[in-house]
Amino acid sequence: MMSTRALTALVLAFVLSVPAQAQPQERRVPSSPAELKLSYAPIVQRVQPAVVNVYAAKIVQNRNPLLEDPIFRRFFGVPGQQPEQMQRSLGSGVMVDPSGLVVTNNHVIEGADQVKISLSDKREFEAEIVLKDSRTDLAVLRLKDVAGEKFPTLDFSNSDELLVGDVVLAIGNPFGVGQTVTHGIISALARTQVGITDYQFFIQTDAAINPGNSGGALVDVNGRLVGINTAIFSRSGGSQGIGFAIPANMVRVVVGSAKSGGKEVKRPWLGARLQAVTPEIAETLGLKLPSGALVASVTAGSPSARAGLKLSDLIVAIDGFTVDDPNAFDYRFATRPLGSTAQVDVQRGGKLVKLAIPLETAPDTGRDEIVVRSRSPFQGAKVANISPALADELRLDPSIEGVVVIDLADDAPAAGVGFQKGDIIIAVNNKKISRTSELERIASEPSRLWRITVVRGGQQINVTLGG
């Protein structure tokens, strides 16, 4: 990942698991020089067997740039078979179920045709992808042909109990040199401005994290998984003491979905759009600090609407946890168990109001996904109607009527003219588009000019393309 000031954010990460009922660890300053000579070796020996190496490979076709030149193609033709090349990536993972279930980063195995797992005892197994969740950058794999073997695993910690200054160990396979252990402390909690995944609520650590650690484990001094290391900020490409990990409580949700047989993560649906409180908004509301999550809109019939959440309510807490911004609320809400309720505190008209929001999934009916085949600027784009579930998944305003682009191949004509995943097509040739069937019909009509209105990132864009 690149920052705007050439600060490279290398996406790396780690995975482990920790028990929900575990007791908080004892915290104290060493009382004698002898205590400073204590070793982490017993913890490492217990944890290492559950941390694995992940090797992913995919076949890509070498593309000669000359073949993209229409004049070259006209005079010299196009070779029938282009050479293929195997691209490989290296990461780490954590065994979270004795049957052979492994959690790692989604970016480690994204697009892979083949995935292999190497254990600490040097044995290798092929693995299948059970679940991928790009919103958290997590994926769950299952080892093949294990013949009933039981593998060592890690317990999940309760990451809500962590404190800044707690000692942690990072275990992974940096630069492919082999399993490596580094140690440090938790430098900060609830980092919400990292910009790596949809859920911005990271643990920051100074334990050394480098390329190849992605999907590896961040553990506490009791050997419990506290997080999956996900990214570093670096000018050199190596560790500079600023690393980020996905909290164990979020990892637990993704692993739980995989264990239940799901192909995607089921999360609670709020049905409301939130915005950050700026200093100007805080002054208008009479707040001392620009903190909380301001309700910008509420979807009719959604759980939040039924619970009584209203426009301009200021969410300040959920289940006893303070909400500093919308990212903090999203994380807390997403890690609540489905089927129960979340107690949300809001400020309304200078008074504190408590609401019980039911935790249920968003309805996902009527998507009507299609791939546009007709010769048009939309050719090759996979589009869908905007269901509440899709709006929640893609972070779209559910009140917008239109058809959303959910996928398109790099070589699709639609990608060539500039369409992107998440674009909402609301009008074509001055005709309103509200269903995929309407877009398919209009796209099949020959036209010399295409006047298209798209909403991207909340901004309306009008473009005119030649036929």
Q: What is the pLDDT of residues 102-131, one digit of tens each?
A: 999 998 888 888 899 999 888 999 999 999
State yes or no: pLDDT of 12 exceeds 50.
Answer: no
State yes or no: pLDDT of 9 exceeds 60.
Answer: no
State yes or no: pLDDT of 73 exceeds 60.
Answer: no
DSSP 3-state of 365: coil
pLDDT of residue 412: 86
Neighbours of 112 (CB within 10 A): 20
State yes or no: pLDDT of 69 exceeds 60.
Answer: no
Q: What is the pLDDT of residues 275-328, one digit of tens each?
A: 999 999 998 888 888 999 999 989 888 999 999 999 999 999 999 999 999 999
DSSP 3-state of 221: coil
pLDDT of residue 3: 39
Handedness of CA 439, 441, 446, 451 (dihedral sign): negative
pLDDT of residue 332: 93
DSSP 3-state of 5: coil
Q: How far apart are CA 260 and CA 142, in angstroms?
A: 13
State yes or no: pLDDT of 86 exceeds 70.
Answer: no
Q: What percent of the chain has pLDDT over 70?
A: 83
pLDDT of residue 61: 53
**pLDDT average, residue stretch 405-423:** 87
pLDDT of residue 158: 92
Max mean pLDDT range (50-59, 158-167, 394-403)? 158-167
Is 206 marked as binding a ligand?
Answer: no
Structure tokens at 430: 């001055």
* Residue 391 φ then ψ, to 5°: -60, -40
Q: What is the biggest distance separating any 2 CA atoms in the chain, rounded to whole angstroms? A: 83
State yes or no: pLDDT of 83 exceeds 80.
Answer: no
For the chain, domains (ranges, CATH) are 1-22+41-266 (2.40.10.120), 272-358 (2.30.42.10), 370-466 (2.30.42.10)
User: CA nearest 312: which of 350, 269, 342?
Assistant: 350
pLDDT of residue 35: 66
pLDDT of residue 235: 57
In sequence order, what E strands does 390-467 have? 403-408, 424-428, 431-432, 449-456, 459-466
**pLDDT average, residue stretch 401-413:** 87
* Residue where the block lists tokens 């980063």: 105
Is 183 marked as binding a ligand?
Answer: no
**pLDDT average, residue stretch 79-96:** 70
Q: How confident is the model at residue 76 (pLDDT cuts 50, 70, 90)?
A: low
pLDDT of residue 142: 94
Structure tokens at 100: 């052979």
Q: Residue 56 is inside which H or E element, if any?
A: strand 51-61
Q: What is the pLDDT of residues 252-266, one digit of tens each?
A: 999 999 998 888 888
pLDDT of residue 11: 34
Q: What is the pLDDT of residues 192-231, one digit of tens each?
A: 666 666 777 888 888 877 777 888 899 999 999 999 987 6
pLDDT of residue 343: 96
Q: Residue 258 is inside which H or E element, if any?
A: helix 248-259
Is 158 marked as binding a ligand?
Answer: no
Cβ burial of 414 (10 Å; 0-12, 13-18, 19+) is buried
Is 107 marked as binding a ligand?
Answer: yes
Q: Write the DSSP symbol of residue 275.
A: E
Handedness of CA 300, 305, 308, 309 (dihedral sign): negative
Is 249 marked as binding a ligand?
Answer: no
Structure tokens at 7: 């600060």
pLDDT, averaged across the chain? 83
**pLDDT average, residue stretch 183-197:** 77
Q: How confident is the model at residue 233 (pLDDT cuts 50, 70, 90)?
A: low
Q: Write the DSSP symbol of residue 18.
A: B
Catalytic residues: 107, 137, 214
